[in-house]
């Protein structure tokens, strides 16, 4: 079934005078794993709350599995891990999981949910006794235990240690391989680069980019050639590479270029001293920074 799992059609969402999302349109197909990226306040959490039907768009339409998101949430299996979620005190983790299972038509067994969410050792603990990291694990197990076909994860790995993050992503990759649709936000760009097959970049409430991580890196991701040379060389470098951005900072000259090989060849032919030479390949981070700078210039 080639049905869109998520569809935003010219969506706007206001909070009073603040426009959290403006004219945002995109579709997510079944089985996609999509990273929603953007600086703080870009509108990521708002977008997730619209998918969940926790908020309604001010204009435009949000559809989930072909229905209005508020209708979809009641009949479809959607699992979510939100930024700020309180767990009801007094309950044991196992009781929470059992309650959560009861909300879904085809939940995982308690044992399977505990294993996949890595909370088997926490089942008898009361919620208020959990540490921060344990809470994140419980929230993840709660998101999984309905065996959902769509997972919405708002900064799921924030505050996790490196080992927990690695285990978390191993589980995510397996879920994605089994055809689940996943939309997640993160501030760790290497997570998006490694695990997402597509990146949506929000910027001031607008959709600024939509592509594979590689496309984003390739499309705007340039390389930086950096070396120590007296600032007197900067003019020469600018004249040699008129199409590149050349900056002088702390005794180093940096050149941003799509073609570092040619830039280096030109610099060496002119005997520009290249002490401490460093070439950094276009990273997702560089790509996003560039998009942001371009946005500011417009």
Ligand X SMILES: Nc1ncnc2c1ncn2[C@@H]1O[C@H](COP(=O)(O)OP(=O)(O)O)[C@@H](O)[C@H]1O
Residues binding ligand X (CB under 6 A) = 15, 18, 20, 38, 40-46
The answer to whether the beta carbons of residues 153 and 183 sit under 8 Å apart is yes
Residue placing its CB nearer to ligand X in the complex, 41 or 251: 41
Q: Shortest approach of Mg ion to residue 229 CB, angstroms?
A: 42
What's the token pair of residue 195? 């695990």
Residue placing its CB nearer to ligand X in the complex, 38 or 148: 38
Residue placing its CB nearer to ligand X in the complex, 41 or 66: 41
260 binds, among Mg ion, ligand X, none (CB under 5 to 8 A by kind): none
What's the token pair of residue 255? 């050149």
Residue placing its CB nearer to ligand X in the complex, 20 or 33: 20
Site residues, Mg ion (CB under 5 A) = 44-45
Residue placing its CB nearer to ligand X in the complex, 15 or 99: 15
40 binds, among Mg ion, ligand X, none (CB under 5 to 8 A by kind): ligand X
Q: Shortest approach of Mg ion to residue 86 CB, angstroms?
A: 16
Question: Quick one: CA dihedral 272, 276, 281, 282, positive or negative?
Answer: negative
Q: Shortest approach of ligand X to residue 100 CB, angstroms?
A: 24
Strand segments, DSSP code E, in the chain are 4-15, 18-29, 33-37, 59-64, 67-68, 78-81, 150-154, 181-185, 198-203, 206-211, 223-228, 245-249, 252-257, 275-280
77 binds, among ligand X, Mg ion, none (CB under 5 to 8 A by kind): none
Residue entry with tokens 């403006």: 22
134 binds, among ligand X, Mg ion, none (CB under 5 to 8 A by kind): none
Q: Shortest approach of Mg ion to residue 131 CB, angstroms?
A: 22
| CA dist., res. 18 & res. 38, Å (int) | 17
What separation in angstroms does the CA of 234 have from each of 24, 159, 231, 238, 240? 42, 42, 5, 6, 10
Question: Quick one: CA dihedral 27, 33, 35, 64, positive or negative?
Answer: positive
Query: CB nearest Mg ion: which residue?
Result: 45
Q: Shortest approach of ligand X to residue 54 CB, angstroms?
A: 10
């Amino acid at each position: 079934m080639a049905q869109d799992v998520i569809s935003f059609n010219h969506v706007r969402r206001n909070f009073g005078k603040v426009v959290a999302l403006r004219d945002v349109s995109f579709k997510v197909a079944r089985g996609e794993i999509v990273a929603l990226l953007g600086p703080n306040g870009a509108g990521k959490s708002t977008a997730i709350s619209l998918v969940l039907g926790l908020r309604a768009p001010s204009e435009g339409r949000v559809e989930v599995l072909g229905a209005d998101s508020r209708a979809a949430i009641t009949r479809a299996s959607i699992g979510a891990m939100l930024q700020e979620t309180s767990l009801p005190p007094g309950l044991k983790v196992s009781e929470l999981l059992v309650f959560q299972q009861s909300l879904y038509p085809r939940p995982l067994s308690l044992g399977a949910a505990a294993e996949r969410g890595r909370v088997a050792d926490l089942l008898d603990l009361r919620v208020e006794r959990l540490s921060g990291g344990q809470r994140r694990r419980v929230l993840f197990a709660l998101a999984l235990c309905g065996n959902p076909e769509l997972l919405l994860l708002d900064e799921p790995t924030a505050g996790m240690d490196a080992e927990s993050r690695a285990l978390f992503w191993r589980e995510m990759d397996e879920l994605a391989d089994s055809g689940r649709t996943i939309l997640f936000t993160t501030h760790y760009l290497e997570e998006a680069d490694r695990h997402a097959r597509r990146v949506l970049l929000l910027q001031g409430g607008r959709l600024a980019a939509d592509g594979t991580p590689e496309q984003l890196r390739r499309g705007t991701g340039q390389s930086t050639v950096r070396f120590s040379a007296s600032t007197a060389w900067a003019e020469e470098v600018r004249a040699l590479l008129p199409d590149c951005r050349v900056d002088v900072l702390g005794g180093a000259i940096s050149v941003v270029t799509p073609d570092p090989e040619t830039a280096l060849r030109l610099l060496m032919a002119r005997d520009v001293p290249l002490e401490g030479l460093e070439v950094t390949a276009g990273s997702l981070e560089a790509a996003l920074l560039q998009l942001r700078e371009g946005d500011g210039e417009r």
